[in-house]
Amino acid sequence: MNIGNFLLDAAAKTSGNATYSTLFTVGYLIVIVGIMYFLLIRPQRKKTKEEKKMRENLQVGDDIVTIGGIYGKVISLKEDTIVIESKSDHSKITIARWALQQNLTVHDD
């Protein structure tokens, strides 16, 4: 066996191993991205969708909590804002609709 054939055989084996290694790495990355999707992205999207639905189904008279911790009752609704009456001193506050954290009133759907 001469040295040229030995080098060609070694290069062919290395090329095969490199292809296998590359495919394994790409497969590993796809699995990691899939796990990240199911553990992080999908639950966050579900939560965002539920919050959006809650804000769209808000009605006048509902008891709510804002993200700042203010408890109040909805007095009026507009497209982007909500006017609430606070529980403690009955003052009226205008808040952004996105600042609504929780609707405490249970509605029959």
Percent of the chain scoring above 70 in pLDDT = 83
Query: Counting beta carbons within 10 angstroms of the beta carbon of residue 54, is it exposed (0 to 12), middle (13 to 18) or buried (19 or more)?
Result: middle
Q: What is the pLDDT of residues 57-86, one digit of tens each?
A: 999 999 999 999 999 999 999 999 999 999
Please give the structure tokens belonging to residue 91.
């003052």
Question: Once rounded to an integer, what is the mean pLDDT over residues 32-58?
Answer: 92
Strands 63-66 and 92-96, bridge-based pairing: unpaired
Q: How far apart are CA 100 and CA 56, in angstroms?
A: 11
Domain boundaries, the chain: 1-56, 59-103
Greater model confidence, 106 or 5: 106
Q: How far apart are CA 62 and CA 104, in angstroms?
A: 7
Q: How far apart are CA 56 and CA 107, in angstroms?
A: 13
Reported as a pLDDT band with limits 50, 70 and 90, residue 9 is low
Q: Where are the alpha helices (DSSP H) in the chain?
A: 3-36, 42-56
pTM of this prediction exceeds 0.85: no
Query: 59-103 domain in CATH 2.40.100.10?
Result: no
Q: How far apart are CA 34 and CA 49, in angstroms?
A: 21
